[in-house]
Amino acid sequence: MGYRTESRNRVKDRSIVIRNVYVMMAYAFRDIHQNGQDRFASEDFDTIHDLFAEILIRGIGSQVKRGLHRDYRRRSEELATVRGRIDLTRTSAALSMVRGRVVCEFDEYELDTLHNRILKCVMILLIRKGSVSRERQDALRRLLPYFDSVEQVAPVSIRWSQLSYSRSSASYRMLMGTCELVIRGLLPTEEPGANSLLSWVTDEAMSSLYERFLLEYFRLHHPELSPAAAKVRWDIDGEHASGTDQLPAMYTDITLRRGGRTVIIDAKYYSKTMQVSQYGKSSIHSANIYQILAYTKNADVSRNGSVSGILLYARTDAGLQPDLNVTIQGNRIAARTLDLKLPWDMLRAQLEELTTWLD
């Protein structure tokens, strides 16, 4: 059966959405202060890039005061005096000794690190191509001189997997998360070779942020529930099993446990939360239901109904939203929505309600 999906209306009140994006980022990148309260609640942001710019302005400003991240980099130069280790092979090949010089290899403690290259890259992007107010553009320009010794890199050359954090760079987590969201918003325009920053972040980037936010929320506020992105093992009857290594791995977005009960939460961030058949019938996305059911049934190794599953969609403006609560072969399965347009205290109440599934 062929499916089409419901169209999504544009969000009318973006101010609450944008402030909640900040709160989500604060949780996702472990930068919570004042018990998770939105420190930017009194600010007005016309665009998501205004929010990102403000995070960078405040974050980099604070980082400049405490000292920008530095790291040792290996250099090799021809010098008049010895520094570090002499590279005899290169000194001889370059006839440096004839000129009274030697080629030396040494480590230099400098600002030109990957973290700072990314910050410089994104500040320039927001100034040149982002939907950022003139006041915030000027604030970003005032920060750029601190990065004069930092190499400028192209956004496409950044490898996010290479980022690592030590004690000295831990405060960069949210700054790097902000930069990643900005750069993931870069998409080609219809003009060959041109690029533009989207006025909103891609669904892919928001989906990743949404998942991380939910997990970190429960880790911070409910450590007693052992929140984790846990692996679910296939409940295999081993008597006639073969080729089990060909089964795909199953990893949950969030698994919560209390006593003998478990709830598996699968986060879904889609522009369109429901599928609609060619005959006009709306339903939960088939693949989503099959996925949460597979997780739940295989995790319930005792087969006593102690494991439940929740599909938690980010709410859209569509008329019909996921609202499912059923028991399938002894296991409770639900589809719910989380309204990211609500004020934070109401949004948090929706999250807290999910913990009652373990009562």
Structural domains of the chain, ranges and CATH numbers in brackets: 11-69+112-204 (no CATH), 75-110 (no CATH), 210-236+247-358 (3.40.1350)
Whether this prediction's pTM lies above 0.85 is answered by no
Looking at residue 182, what is its pLDDT? 84
Could you give phi then psi for residue 277, rounded to 5 degrees?
-70, 170
Which residues does residue 196 pair with via DSSP β-bridges, in sequence order? Answer: 187
CB of 14 closer than 8 Å to CB of 51: no
Looking at residue 280, what is its pLDDT? 80
DSSP string for residues in 152-185: P--GGG--GGG----TTTGGGHHHHHHHHHHHHT
Token code pair at residue 92: 């001889």
Token code pair at residue 112: 């030109």
Looking at residue 4, what is its pLDDT? 31
Residue type, 100: G
Residue type, 3: Y
User: For 89-229, where are the E strands, in sequence order?
Assistant: 102-110, 186-188, 195-197
Q: What share of the chain is helix, strand, coil (3-state, %, to 5)?
A: 45, 20, 35
Nearest to 294, CA basis, from 249, 355, 343: 249
Which residues does residue 231 pair with via DSSP β-bridges, in sequence order? Answer: 251
Determine the distance from the C-alpha atom of residue 44 to the mean position of all C-alpha atoms in its chain, rounded to a whole number: 23
- The tens place of each residue's pLDDT in the chain, 359 residues long, gives 333 333 333 333 444 466 777 788 878 877 655 434 445 554 567 777 888 888 899 889 989 988 888 877 777 778 777 776 778 777 777 766 667 788 888 777 788 889 999 999 999 999 987 788 899 999 999 999 999 999 999 888 888 888 888 877 788 888 998 898 888 765 443 333 334 444 445 667 778 889 999 999 999 999 999 999 999 999 998 778 888 889 999 999 999 999 999 999 999 988 788 888 888 888 999 999 999 999 999 999 999 999 999 999 988 877 788 999 999 999 999 999 998 888 888 899 999 999 999 99
CB of 25 closer than 8 Å to CB of 179: no
Looking at residue 199, what is its pLDDT? 45
Q: In b/e form, how buried is each residue of 275-306, taking b as 16+ CB within 10 angstroms?
A: bbeeeeebebbeebbebbebbbbebbeeeeeb
What is the C-alpha radius of gyration for the chain, rounded to an integer number of angstroms?
A: 26
Residue whose token pair is 């005032």: 142
**Rounded to an integer, what distance in angstroms lies between the CA atom of residue 18 and that of residue 166?**
30
**Rounded to an integer, what distance in angstroms lies between the CA atom of residue 358 and that of residue 237?**
28
Q: Which residues lie below 8 Å from residue 294, measured CB to CB, with a gap of 6+?
A: 250
Q: Between the CA of residue 2 and those of 5, 68, 274, 282, 333, what are the distances in Å?
A: 10, 54, 14, 12, 25
CB of 114 closer than 8 Å to CB of 162: yes
Could you give phi then psi for residue 319, rounded to 5 degrees?
-65, -40
